[in-house]
Structure 1
Amino acid sequence: MKQFLIKVGVGALVACSAHAQQAYPDRPVRMIVGFAAGGSTDLVARIVASRMSALLGQSVVVENRAGAGGTIATDAVAKSKADGYTVLFGTSSHAINASLYKKLPYDSNDVVPISIVASVPMVLAVNPAVKTNTAKEFIDEIRKHPGTYSYGSAGKGSALHMAVELLAYQEKLQVTHVPFRGASQAIQSVISGDIPFITDAVSTAAPMIQTGKLKALAVTTATRSSVLPNVPTMKEAGFPSYDTSIWNMVMVPRGTPPAVIDKLGATLLATMKDPDVQQRMLKLGVEPVQGSTPEKAAAFVGAETRRWAEVIKAGAIQQE
């Protein structure tokens, strides 16, 4: 009888555990975003969260925890309970920060990727007074006059900063970085002529380009941008090794149950196949990514982390 009761007890626990996993989610899910409300990352997160809510049958609530290049948000998720009710809407800053900071309050492996959902192309743009009209001409000018050209960014270690550092690393250029508190201030400085160029997200630079306030030379991704279809890629401009973007990815704390990861992964696959989600992203200048899996996402993050570590080391870039 005692053995029978033990078996029944164990069976009941297994059944309860299975039921709990099948029931996920049975309450709202928090999606932590490491950047301010109203920005490109926040807008994309809200598009994804809205569709996920409909598919999961529970609200996916976006919570902004801006600061320190996304590390505050990542730390919050890394230290949260690994039950699938707190997820991170991560960006390319996750791979950059792993080498940028001397010490982080978390280990980069404390959050694991579920799915890449979007890629935001950037564009190499100059003040209209700059005489060169192609990326190759402009980069040749920089090479001829080392140290005389400056560029703006949203701050040290930002994707905008690192996009130029990648180019400088690959092409052995000497340029001067001018960090600003945000991308909008950096763009205004280029428009006013205080600094000659910037690499900025297409989603925010496109209106300035379309009105003639900035001159676009090339987009940074392997394919052209849907909002700037007439602007060539850096590869088309003669730089075959150059390809970078601001990517967005959903991540969870390490130790999250496999069944929960599977549920989130399937939900994100369905989300990114939704035509309305795709159209809303494209209108922002954001390229939706379909077909990502945890395995693909993890391999991508690993490759990105190694690439940025190399660029950061070569440029002696460090954030306290």
Structure 2
Amino acid sequence: MPYRSNRRAFAGALAVVSTLLFAAPLHAQDNFPSRSLKIVVPATAGGTTDVVARTLAEKMSASMGQSVVIDNRLGANGIVAVKAVAGSPPDGYTMLLIHTAYTQNLALRSDQPYSLSEMIPLVLLGRSGTVLAVPSSLGVSTLKDFVEYVRARPGKLSYGSFGVASTAHIYGEMLSNVAKLQVTHVPYKGETAALNDVLSGQLAATWGSAGTFEPHVKAGKLKILAMTGPERMPQYADIPTFVEQGYPMFDLAGWNGVFVPRGTPPAVVDRLTAEVRKGLQSPEVTAKLVGFGFVPVGTQGRAFSQFLDADVAKWTAAAKANNIKAD
């Protein structure tokens, strides 16, 4: 009988411990969030992704009753930021807001620095085109003019991008390949730095967001020649696409979205998804996205996952066709 009594006592104790172990996380989820949250951003302060993240963070903070801070983690075309978030506790307190680099890294790098399965996609915030801009002093008005100008000066001109293996780098090499241009790629740590050198005349061209370049266009210092993507953006209807100017391979578009680490509890994922979508629907966040040349989307869950799989496939095809590698 003592053995049976001890066994019953052990079973009872185990049940109590199990209840305590499982009750704590559930209770924590019910009170989520109980402290400040963080959005990791692989961009410099003041850049497109950073500004969108900060505006979204303000809305989420007001709605959730907890501060949402921005953590700028630069390096390796977003890989540093992805790994930082993927390796953080899966409790919902650390999010990632990243752009197209997230899928491009998987398409361009043979080492596969991470996998899509390491993160849970919450919300696809918006999609956008990337523009090619030149200093007005260059004296060209169209993409055709620019191509002819560069061809006449083989090896003498440079274009800027916001990093090796970035969207801008890929587009730049694609154009050099299909248009048979001999132009040097100069990578920068952000689109603003490259823009400054274009405005000063040190670069013949650069790639970036229409919203960032627009003030300089209005000031007469910059000329936007074309935008990537399948069709013109409503807010920049005067900017022609590469596709309509004879470059169909530039139908690729950029995007940005929010993620959390794999293993984050479903209830927390649902709460954050709802909060991000709520923030996205606010006039302030929408205005920032539209101003930077994005079309707000709001796709979530499985549909967002399917979008990411398709995007990796598209960039992989583009990289192979143009022999672009990041390593």
Deviations, residues 123-165 of structure 1 (Å, cap 9, x unaligned)? 1223335555333554577679876764222232122112233
| In structure 1, C-alpha distance between the alignment counterparts of 2:46 and 2:196, rounded to whole Å | 19
C-alpha change, 1:167 and 1:300, in structure 2 (3 Å) is farther
**Amino acid paired to 1:22:** D
* Residues 161 and 177 in structure 1, CA contact (< 8 A), matched pair in contact too: no
**Amino acid paired to 1:113:** P
| Bigger radius of gyration | 2
Q: Does 1:115 find its partner at 2:123?
A: yes
| In structure 1, C-alpha distance between the alignment counterparts of 2:69 and 2:135, rounded to whole Å | 40
Identity %, equivalent residues? 34
* Residues 119 and 246 in structure 1, CA contact (< 8 A), matched pair in contact too: yes
TM-score normalised by structure 2 residue count: 0.82
**Amino acid paired to 2:99:** T
| In structure 2, C-alpha distance between the alignment counterparts of 1:38 and 1:102, rounded to whole Å | 31
| In structure 2, C-alpha distance between the alignment counterparts of 1:239 and 1:108, rounded to whole Å | 30
Select 2:84's aligned residue among 43, 66, 76. 76
Give 2:224's aligned residue. 216
Deviations, residues 12-33 of structure 1 (Å, cap 9, x unaligned)? 7665554332322222111111
Q: Does 1:55 find its partner at 2:63?
A: yes
1:275 deviates by 1.9
Select 1:92's aligned residue among 97, 100, 108. 100
1:67 deviates by 2.0
C-alpha change, 1:14 and 1:75, in structure 2 (3 Å) is closer
* Residues 176 and 183 in structure 2, CA contact (< 8 A), matched pair in contact too: no
Deviations, residues 288-314 of structure 1 (Å, cap 9, x unaligned)? 523311222222222222222233334
Aligned length: 318
Give 1:178's aligned residue. 185
Unaligned runs of 5+ in 1: none
Give 2:173's aligned residue. 165
| In structure 2, C-alpha distance between the alignment counterparts of 1:258 and 1:180, rounded to whole Å | 40
* Residues 54 and 70 in structure 2, CA contact (< 8 A), matched pair in contact too: yes
Give 2:52's aligned residue. 44
SS at match of 1:292: strand
* Residues 123 and 202 in structure 1, CA contact (< 8 A), matched pair in contact too: yes
**Amino acid paired to 2:256:** N
| In structure 1, C-alpha distance between the alignment counterparts of 2:184 and 2:120, rounded to whole Å | 32
Give 2:211's aligned residue. 203
Give 1:306's aligned residue. 313
- Root-mean-square deviation (CA), in Å? 3.3
Unaligned runs of 5+ in 2: none
Give 1:278's aligned residue. 286
C-alpha change, 1:280 and 1:196, in structure 2 (3 Å) is closer
TM-score normalised by structure 1 residue count: 0.83
**Amino acid paired to 1:313:** K
* Residues 120 and 202 in structure 1, CA contact (< 8 A), matched pair in contact too: no
Residues 136-145 or 72-81, more deviating: 136-145
